[in-house]
């Protein structure tokens, strides 16, 4: 059979060989209750409360690699990335998504231990009135647990955990996906400093775009 005939059959049957899908099944016995708690914060947040979706993207590598254009055997010219690369270290990105406005507050760190997480939380709540309730949606990463000392110092902050193996219920994961596609995929960085600047540039661009769309109310 010719290549064209095979491709016609694949298209007719809806088979897309290059498409990939992943799945994650939660076995948490309290899935329904935990999911309802998180979804309830999205759909009906408490009056005058701030709802934040927080997570971190750990160990982002500053990879340096050659990027150019390749003339393929089929005659097409495509963008190419060399398979070999140089490593220049890693950084970690903490991000807090304001569920109501879509605005991101972020912090790049060298490590991602519990004190770093708490320091980021300090930055997030610094400008929030102490009498305003803050509801934070988190996954079950170890750093997010055992923060009773910090919570005791911030009685207006309440943690809500997604069900086990269901971090996809955390809306900031959507932003991380966009960030990865727009900033990291196919990129080359000669240092962690350059990588950090690229991260900050993406965050600032998204904030400017939101403010252009919604005016000064996007905070």
Q: Is 165 exposed, middle or buried (0-12, 13-18, 19+ CB in 10 A)?
A: middle
Contacts of 86 (CB under 8 A, 6+ apart): 63, 64, 65
User: What is the tally of structural domains in the chain?
Assistant: 1
What gap in Å lies between CA 194 and CA 85, rounded to an integer? 16
Give the residue among 112, 185, 179, 114 at the shortest CA–CA distance from 150: 114
Query: CA dist 31 to 37, 203, 216, Å?
Result: 10, 32, 38
Question: 52, 99 in Cβ contact below 8 A?
Answer: yes
86-98 and 104-109: which strand pairing? antiparallel
The token duo for 160 is 């809500």
Which pLDDT belongs to residue 218? 55
Phi/psi at 21 (5° precision)? -125, 145
Q: Is residue 34 part of a domain?
A: yes
Q: Is residue 87 part of a domain?
A: yes
Q: Is residue 3 part of a domain?
A: no
Q: Is residue 76 part of a domain?
A: yes
Which pLDDT belongs to residue 47? 93
What gap in Å lies between CA 86 and CA 65, rounded to an integer? 7
User: Which residues constitute the domain of residue 209?
Assistant: 29-214
114-139 burial code (b ≥16 CB/10 A, e <16): eebbbebbeebbeeeeeeebbbbbbb
Q: What is the pLDDT along the chain (219 residues), one digit of tens a residue?
A: 898 999 999 999 999 888 888 777 888 999 999 999 999 999 999 999 999 999 999 999 999 999 888 888 888 888 888 888 899 999 999 999 999 999 999 999 999 999 999 999 999 999 899 899 999 999 999 999 999 999 999 999 999 999 999 989 999 999 999 999 999 998 999 999 999 999 999 999 988 888 887 765 555
Q: What CATH number did the domain enclosing 40 receive?
A: 3.30.420.10
């Amino acid at each position: 059979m010719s290549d064209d005939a095979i491709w016609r059959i694949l298209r007719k049957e809806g088979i897309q060989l290059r498409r990939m899908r992943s799945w994650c099944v939660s076995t948490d016995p309290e899935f329904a209750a935990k999911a309802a708690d998180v979804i309830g914060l999205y759909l009906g947040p408490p009056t005058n409360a701030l709802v934040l979706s927080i997570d971190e993207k750990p160990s982002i590598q500053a990879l340096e690699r050659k990027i150019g254009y390749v003339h393929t055997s089929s005659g097409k010219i495509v963008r190419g990335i060399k398979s070999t690369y140089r490593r220049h270290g890693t950084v970690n990105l903490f991000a807090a998504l304001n569920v109501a406005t879509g605005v991101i507050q972020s912090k790049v760190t060298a490590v991602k231990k519990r004190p770093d997480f708490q320091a980021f939380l300090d930055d997030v709540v610094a400008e929030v009135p102490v009498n305003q309730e803050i509801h934070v949606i988190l996954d079950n990463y170890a750093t997010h647990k055992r923060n009773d000392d910090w919570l005791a110092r911030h009685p207006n902050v309440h943690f809500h955990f997604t069900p086990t193996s269901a971090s996809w219920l955390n809306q900031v994961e959507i932003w991380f996906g966009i960030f990865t596609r727009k900033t990291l995929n196919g990129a080359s960085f000669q240092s962690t400093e350059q990588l950090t600047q690229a991260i900050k540039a993406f965050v600032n661009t998204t904030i400017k775009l939101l403010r252009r769309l919604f005016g000064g109310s996007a905070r």
